[in-house]
Amino acid sequence: MCAAFFGSTRGLRVRWAGGLLCLLALLGGSPSSAAAQRFLSDDPLWHDPDRMDMPFPEPTPSDRGIGPLEFFERSFGVPGEYAVPAKNVNTVGGVPNSSWYTNRHYRSPMSPAALRQGPNQGPGPSARSPWRVVELGPPGGLPRAIIRDTTGRPFRILFDAPAHPEMATGAAMISSRLLHALGYNVPQHWLRRVRAGRLVPEPDSGVTQSRVDSLLASAAQRPDGTYRALVTRIPDVERRIGPFQFKGTRADDGNDVFPHEDRRELRGLRIVAAWIHHSKIRPRHTLDVGVQVEGRRFVRHYLADLHLTLGSAGATPKSEWSGHEHVLELGRIFERIGTLGLSGGDWAEVEPPDDPALGRFGIGGFDPQAWRPEWPNLAFQRTTPADAFWAAKKIRNFSREDLRVIVSTANYSSAEVADYMVRTLLARRDAIGQAFLDWGGGLDRFAVRSGRLTFEDLRAAHGQAPDTLRRTVTWRAYDNRADAVSPVLTRMTSSREAVPLPDYSPSYLRASLVTPRAGTTRVYVRQTEQGQASPGGKLRRRVVGVERTAPSTAERP
């Protein structure tokens, strides 16, 4: 019984009630009848209590990676149709706020100022000199270092390569704002113009002035002699723990109970990564940190190294195959051997942008359904249509003006580069909407207002389907304990995005909205009387459940 409970899709309650239920079972008692109900009084949950006070895990290596057997299995195995739903979703298919994820722009539109600010909730590095260099980055790749400003706070700084000024730093600024608005944890990012004299070695650090000078000599320099520096910081860090994996859980973190491959925000990250072309994403580009908030110690999970997004591979542009293949695919290798290297797919013919600040980022050859990272990723491989819809609706929600505001934070010296970036993000956004928004009919934002079930037809709102398309709406009473429905109460066809509730007052109603050739969305509405002293009075109604299915399983009217 305990194993079944902990493995259920109702796992969001595991920290609240799981221990109590198992204890009652082991003692021979019977759990509350509420446990048998599909919907409980506080559904849908929008906060995952995974920030309970726990000892910090010990630091782990920078990238344990995956073993050779697992790598070959993921790279060359024949993927099946994975249909197991994500385990950390609430009853309306949303991802609650947690140490991994925070609902932002889609649920509550962010202002242009908030989009521009992004994750930068604290002050940036002091504008006063000097910045003391305490550690230099490894040789090769982009010039980087760890510095302390005049306040003593540590920051990481990174410079562009001379051949591609603004490419890596611009990618990091844009992607940090997009990922933050989408709900992910990312480091704070600032752009600063730095003169050589500001960087000095920290005494007793082992860093010398000649090594600082060599660092700057390998960085892109502006015509005025200054350097464009990307400055990053993760606030409130008590301990740097190391990367998280895209599978399993961290055994030494009591808050980490959902297998990472079954977290919707990590499965849906495949669609987000396709949008911003984060094809290099792997554990080494993530970071778990121990934080302390209001006396509670817990782990917060970050996406890092965002200079590797968009067209940037760091010091050089992305390879032409990046996003289309894993680093090693036997099928592709044999195909090229058989064609004397002439086979490579349509993407092999795509010319990169001609500005060095853009790297290799465009719309040519972009297929959001076929896109994949360079390194196989179990969470990405388990992405279901429901996970993809969840991510796509959030991506498609960004307006042209939203993207212009976010791209402006990259402070490109060329207006043409900024315009190109906005156009490309818009085009990739639209391709993702076309690929994934059909799920269940593309309906969302359900609510009950003035006796009507209201919603938004996302496909019509984004010009992917006509707003005159008629769908069938069938209402039934729903038995929350037996998980059964009554005969049909009412049925209608309508193209409106508001349909009347039937004049019945069971505790629960279920509406089935069937969209031709797109699927079905079922919506559950709880009805409770307002106040115990007025039986038969006005009903309080609330949407407590949403589930979507494909056309093959659509309910016939």
Do 174 and 409 contact (CB within 8 A), yes or no? Answer: yes
In the predicted model, is pLDDT for residue 557 greater than 60? Answer: no
Whether residue 359 contacts residue 317, with contact meaning beta carbons closer than 8 Å, is answered with: yes
Within 218-346, residue ranges assigned H as helices are 264-267, 269-275, 330-338
Q: How far apart are CA 70 and CA 191, in angstroms?
A: 39
Q: Average of pLDDT values for 277-286?
A: 96
Gap between the Cα atoms of 113 and 117, Å rounded: 6
Per residue, the 3-state secondary structure of 140-185, as one string, reads: CCCCEEEEECCCCCEEEEEECCCCCCCHHHHHHHHHHHHHHHHCEC
Strand partners, 149: none
Interacting residues of 468 by C-beta distance below 8 A, sequence separation 6+: 495
430-442 pLDDT, tens digit each = 999 999 999 999 9
Question: Per-residue pLDDT tens for 136-154?
Answer: 998 888 999 999 999 999 9
Q: Do residues 219 and 439 touch, judged by C-beta distance below 8 A?
A: no
pLDDT tier, 529 (very low <50, low <70, confident <90, very high otherwise):
confident
Total residue count of the chain as it appears in this document: 557
Compute CA distances 386 → 1, 83, 371, whole Å.
Answer: 28, 9, 17
Res 356 pLDDT > 80 = yes
User: In angstroms, rounded to a whole number, what is the distance separating the alpha carbons of residues 159 and 221?
Assistant: 9
> Measured between alpha carbons, how far is 432 from 273 in angstroms, rounded to an integer?
11
pLDDT at 82: 66
Q: What does the alpha-carbon distance between residue 252 and residue 242 come to, in Å, rounded to a whole number?
A: 13
Model confidence over 107-142: pLDDT tens digits? Answer: 999 999 999 999 998 889 988 889 999 999 988 889
Q: Is the pLDDT of residue 12 over 90?
A: no
pLDDT tens string 475-506: 999 999 999 999 999 999 999 999 999 998 89
- Write out pLDDT tens, residues 306-354: 999 999 999 999 999 999 988 865 455 445 444 445 455 666 767 778 8
- pLDDT tens for 207-221 read 999 999 999 999 999
pLDDT for res 26: 37
Q: What is the pLDDT of residue 67?
A: 57
Secondary element (H or E) of residue 75: helix 68-76
Find residue 296's DSSP bridge partners: 293
